[in-house]
Amino acid sequence: MTLEERARRERMLERAAAVATACRKCQIGSERRHNVYGEGDPCARLMVIGEGPGETEDLLGRPFVGRAGELLDKMLAAIDLPREDVYICNTVKCRPTVNDGGKLRNRAPLPAEMANCRPFLDEQIDIIAPQVILALGAPAAKSFLGNTFSITRSRGIWFEGPNAIPLIATFHPAYILRQGGMALTDTKRQVWSDLKQVREKLDALRQSPAAQAGVPEQADLFESPRVL
């Protein structure tokens, strides 16, 4: 990738982010503190897409920060992908909330909100042109694969995503953090299996230094008791 191409993509993403920041198409556009457009390498081979910003993301204007973001960073590091080498965003750019007795709580984005925001996401995918897309959680996966998609049945399976890009889904880090006991052990095993598939797909598409070094047999991404 030439420096000129990288700069061209950065400019395009900056312009698109400015348009998203001015957008008030949904009610949540008027309620959020920051538009969380996305961040990362404009030439990333992997694009990670979650459902929507949460409270910490809304506060900081960055996707996947806070505890779920820390876990995502560990998940990516476990397959030898530093966060800065990946592009990370969500299906909606504004935080979806529900008023719960005066306190705003996170909620999944509504289909109408995802539809309103889809042009921003499509534009990001067009600009970055990743080789692989990783959808985190059922709402993000359903936005590409339809409402019949089941994260429990169909995670870890490759699908043809937008622009014919290979797409795979796994559990959202926030979901992993809510698990305990045997459920946590099972979820970790499944997520690690999915992540290895991402690594193998990237390596198959282009033999990388990580492939030559070998993927570790087991992830240490879940070992921090503070995170879980």
> Which residue lies nearer to ligand SF4 by CB, 92 or 221?
92
The letter for the amino acid at 222 is: F
**Least Cβ distance, residue 142 to ligand SF4 (angstroms):** 16
Shortest distance (Å) from residue 15 CB to ligand SF4: 14
Q: Which one, 109 or 166, has the nearer CB to ligand SF4? A: 109
Report, in Å, the least distance between residue 226 CB and ligand SF4.
Answer: 32
Distances (CA, A) of 119 to 14, 91, 168: 15, 10, 21
Token digits for 60? Answer: 């900081």
Cβ proximity to ligand SF4: between 6 and 24 the closer is 24
Task: Give whichever of 67 and 118 is closer to ligand SF4, judged by the CB atom.
Answer: 118
* Cβ at position 59, least distance to ligand SF4 in Å: 16
Q: Minimum CB separation from ligand SF4 for residue 61, in Å?
A: 12
87-90 and 97-100 beta bridge pairing: unpaired
**Distance between CA atoms of 40 and 15, rounded to whole angstroms?**
15
Helical H segments across 129-180, by residue range: 138-145, 151-154, 173-178
The C-alpha atoms of residue 61 and residue 71 are separated, in whole angstroms, by: 18
Nearer to ligand SF4, 12 or 184 (CB): 12
CB of 117 to ligand SF4, least distance (A): 3
Residue closest to ligand SF4 (Cβ): 29
The answer to whether the beta carbons of residues 93 and 53 sit under 8 Å apart is: yes
Nearer to ligand SF4, 24 or 189 (CB): 24
Residues 47 and 121: their CA atoms lie apart, in Å, by 11
- How far is 50 from 159, CA to CA, in rounded Å? 17
- Chain positions contacting ligand SF4, by CB under 6 A: 20, 23-26, 28-29, 35, 92-94, 113, 116-117, 120
Q: In the bound complex, what is the minimum distance in angstroms from residue 106's beta carbon to ligand SF4? A: 14
* Cα–Cα distance list, 16 to 9, 20, 98, 99, 121 (Å): 10, 6, 27, 30, 10
**Residue 120 or 222: which CB sits closer to ligand SF4?**
120
The gap between the terminal CA atoms of the chain, to the nearest Å, is 38
